C-alpha cells in the first residue's frame, strides 16, 4: 500500500487543478497507455493514482515535497523549543543550592499533576467533530484549547523557511482553509502531531536533565506543603503513583519512613528527621516523569500519526477530480485491453466552469423568486455543466415553500442540485446556513452547484461575471466545502 502524505496530497491537488483546464478527450488519450500499464493494480485505487502522479511529475522537487519539507522544518523547530523549555524547567524544578532541598511536591506538580490536565486537554482536542454539536460548550472549549496548542505555533514560525518552502506551505494551508470540510480532520491531526512532537521533546529533555543532575550532583530531596502535615497522606498518594512499577521495581517506591524523615519545614529550617536517605526519592521521581509525562506523549504521538495518515488517505481519495481520474484510468484500461482497441467513450461537453464535475443530470432550483423558465434554465445548465435537467423547483424567500421541504425533495431526488441565484444580491448568512443543512442531508462528495445569474441583453439572464461573480465565488469558497461550486462566467483562477 503506497504511503500518502502531505506531499502527495498537494501534488495531486495541483495536478487535478491543472487537468481541470484541459479538454476531457485529451486527458483520456493522454492516460490511455498508463491505464493499460496499471491494469495489474486494478484492485488498489490509491496505488493507481499514486503511480499516475509519479508518472506525470516534473523533474526537481515538487510543490508537495517542498510543503512536506517545510512541515518537517517547523516540527524540528517545535522539537527544539520543547527541548529548550523542558531543560529549563528541569533545571528550575531540581535546583538545589545546598540550603534547601528539592521539593518533591514541585516535581510532582509540574511533571505529574500538570501533565494530567494537559493530557485531558489533548484528549478533548482529539474528540470527533460530531461531538462538537452534541456536547454543549465543547466547541467553545476546543477553540480555546487550540489557541494554546503548540501545534498552532507552526504558522508563526514560517518566517524561517526558504521562500520556495514558504510558498508551498502557504498553498497547502490555502487548500485546507478553502476546503475545511475535506481537510479539517487531516489538519486537526497534523496540529496534534506537532503538539506531541513539542511535548515529547519537552519531557525527554526534562528527564535527561534530571538524570544528569542525579548522576553528576548531590541532590537532597524533601517535601513541604500547606495542604497537609500528615506523612501518611503523602505516602498513600506516593503508593498510588508508584503502582505501575511497584511489583518489578520495589526500591523505587518510597516507604513511610522516608516520607516521614524528609518532611521539611522552612520555618524551623530543616527536616523533621535526620534525613540521611533523602536522595532515595530520585528513582520514584524519575519514573513518575517517564510514566506520566514521556510515555503518554509517545503514545499520543504514535496515535496522532496513524490518524493523520488515515485522514490524508481519505483526502487523497476524495479530492475534487480524483474520482474522475480513477474512472478515466479504469475506463481506458477496459477500452484498450481487448485486441480490438475499442475507442474510449465520448465525453460530455466541456463545462463553462472547468473545475466542476460533470454529472449526467442535475435538479434545478430557482432561488428566492428568481424569474427563470424551464427552457433557458436547461440551456444554462447544458452550457455551464454539460448536464441535462432532471427537473426544476423553487425555494427560498417568495417561493411559498419551507426550506426543510426543499432540502427533503433534493435529498430524495438523487441528482445533484443546481441552485440559480440572483448575482446582484450578495449571499446572505441564511443562505449559507441553508447550504450547510443541505450538505448534511446530501452527505459528502455530492456536488452542489450555485449559479449566480446576472441580467444580460434584454430580459435574458446569463452567468454572472465581474465583481458580482467574484463576491459569490469568494463567499462560497469560505464555506470550506470542496464539493460546493460557484459556477460563473469568470475565468477560473
Q: pLDDT at position 344, please?
A: 43
DSSP at 122: H
CB-CB contact of 421 with 453 (8 Å) = yes
CA dist., res. 85 & res. 360, Å (int): 59
Rounded Cα distance, 20 and 308, in Å: 28
Helix axes 6-19, 322-337, angle to 10 degrees: 70
Of the chain, the percentage scoring pLDDT greater than 90 comes to 28
pLDDT tens for 103-153 read 999 999 999 999 999 999 999 888 887 787 778 888 888 888 878 788 777
Q: How far apart are CA 468 and CA 286, in angstroms?
A: 64
In this structure, the number of other CB atoms found within 10 A of the CB of residue 425 comes to 14
3-state SS class at 262: coil
Q: What is the dihedral of CA 391, 356, 420, 465, to 10 degrees?
A: -150
Return the C-alpha cell found at 105: 511536591
93/320: higher pLDDT: 93
For residue 334, give the C-alpha cell.
477496459
Q: Note whether 10 and 168 are within 8 A (CB).
A: yes
The pLDDT score that the predictor gives to residue 350 is 44
Q: What is the CA radius of gyration of the chain?
A: 31
Residues 6+ apart with CB under 8 A from 462: 380, 453, 454, 456, 489
Chain-centre distance of CA 483, in angstroms?
A: 17
CB 135 within 8 A of CB 177: no
Residues 424-447: pLDDT tens digits?
888 888 888 889 889 888 887 788
Q: Which three cell numbers stand for residue 158?
A: 514560517
Lowest mean pLDDT among 82-91, 307-316, 394-403: 394-403
Contact of 381 with 410, CB cutoff 8 Å: no
Residue 354, φ and ψ in degrees, nearest 5 = -70, -20
Q: Is 409 helix (H, G, I), strand (E, B) or coil?
A: helix
pTM of the predicted model as reported, rounded to 2 decimal places: 0.71
- What is the mean pLDDT of the segment spanning 159-176? 74
CATH level 2 (architecture), domain 361-486: 3-Layer(aba) Sandwich (3.40)
Over the stretch 371-414, which tens digit does the pLDDT of each residue have? Answer: 888 888 999 988 888 889 998 989 888 777 888 888 999 999 88
Q: What is the DSSP letter of 222?
A: E
CA geometry: angle 349, 350, 351, nearest 5 deg? 110
Reading the block at residue 485, the C-alpha cell is 461550486
* pLDDT per residue as tens digits for the range 270-292: 555 444 567 789 999 999 999 99
d(CA 492, CA 383): 16
Within 433-476, strands assigned E span: 448-455, 461-463
The SS3 of residue 102 is strand
Every domain range in the chain assigned CATH 3.40.50? 361-486
Amino acid at each position: 500500500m503506497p504511503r500518502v502524505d502531505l506531499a502527495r496530497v498537494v501534488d495531486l491537488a495541483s495536478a487535478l487543478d491543472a487537468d481541470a483546464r484541459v479538454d476531457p478527450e485529451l486527458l483520456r488519450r493522454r492516460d490511455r497507455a498508463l491505464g493499460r500499464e496499471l491494469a495489474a493494480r486494478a484492485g488498489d485505487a490509491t496505488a493507481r493514482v499514486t503511480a499516475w502522479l509519479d508518472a506525470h511529475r516534473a523533474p526537481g522537487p515538487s510543490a508537495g515535497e517542498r510543503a512536506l519539507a517545510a512541515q518537517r522544518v517547523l516540527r524540528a523547530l517545535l522539537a527544539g523549543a520543547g527541548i529548550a523549555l523542558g531543560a529549563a524547567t528541569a533545571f528550575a524544578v531540581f535546583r538545589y543550592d545546598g540550603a534547601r532541598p528539592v521539593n518533591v511536591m514541585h516535581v510532582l506538580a509540574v511533571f505529574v499533576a500538570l501533565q494530567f490536565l494537559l493530557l485531558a486537554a489533548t484528549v478533548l482536542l482529539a474528540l470527533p467533530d460530531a461531538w462538537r454539536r452534541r456536547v454543549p460548550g465543547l466547541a467553545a472549549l476546543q477553540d480555546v484549547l487550540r489557541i494554546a496548542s503548540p501545534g498552532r505555533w507552526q504558522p508563526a514560525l514560517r518566517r524561517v523557511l526558504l521562500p520556495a518552502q514558504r510558498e508551498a506551505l502557504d498553498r497547502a494551508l490555502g487548500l485546507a482553509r478553502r476546503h475545511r470540510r475535506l481537510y479539517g480532520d487531516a489538519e486537526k491531526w497534523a496540529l496534534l502531531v506537532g503538539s506531541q512532537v513539542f511535548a515529547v521533546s519537552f519531557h525527554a529533555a526534562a528527564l535527561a536533565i534530571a538524570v544528569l543532575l542525579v548522576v553528576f550532583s548531590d541532590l537532597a530531596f524533601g517535601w513541604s506543603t500547606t495542604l497537609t502535615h500528615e506523612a501518611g497522606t503523602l505516602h498513600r498518594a506516593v503508593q498510588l503513583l508508584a503502582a505501575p512499577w511497584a511489583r518489578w521495581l520495589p526500591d523505587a517506591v518510597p516507604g513511610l519512613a522516608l516520607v516521614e524523615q524528609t518532611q521539611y519545614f522552612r520555618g524551623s529550617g530543616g527536616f523533621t528527621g535526620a534525613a540521611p536517605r533523602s536522595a532515595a526519592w530520585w528513582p520514584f521521581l524519575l519514573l513518575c516523569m517517564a510514566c506520566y509525562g514521556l510515555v503518554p506523549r509517545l503514545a499520543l504521538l504514535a496515535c496522532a500519526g496513524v490518524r493523520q495518515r488515515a485522514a490524508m488517505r481519505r483526502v487523497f481519495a476524495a479530492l475534487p477530480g480524483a474520482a474522475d481520474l480513477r474512472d478515466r484510468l479504469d475506463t481506458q484500461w477496459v477500452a484498450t485491453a481487448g485486441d480490438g482497441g475499442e475507442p474510449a467513450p465520448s465525453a460530455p461537453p466541456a463545462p463553462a466552469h472547468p473545475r466542476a464535475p460533470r454529472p449526467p443530470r442535475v435538479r434545478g432550483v430557482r432561488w428566492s423568486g428568481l424569474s427563470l423558465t424551464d427552457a433557458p434554465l436547461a440551456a444554462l445548465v447544458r452550457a455551464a455543466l454539460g448536464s441535462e435537467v432532471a427537473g426544476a423547483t423553487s425555494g427560498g424567500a417568495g417561493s411559498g415553500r419551507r426550506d426543510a421541504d426543499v432540502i427533503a425533495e433534493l435529498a430524495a431526488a438523487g441528482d445533484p442540485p443546481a441552485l440559480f441565484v440572483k448575482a446582484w444580491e450578495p449571499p446572505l448568512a441564511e443562505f449559507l446556513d441553508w447550504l450547510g443543512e443541505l450538505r448534511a442531508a446530501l452527505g459528502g462528495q455530492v456536488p452542489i452547484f450555485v449559479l449566480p445569474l446576472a441580467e444580460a441583453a434584454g430580459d435574458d439572464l446569463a452567468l454572472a461575471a465581474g465583481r458580482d461573480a467574484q463576491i459569490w465565488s469568494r463567499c462560497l469558497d469560505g464555506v470550506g466545502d470542496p464539493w460546493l461550486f460557484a459556477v460563473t462566467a469568470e475565468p477560473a483562477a
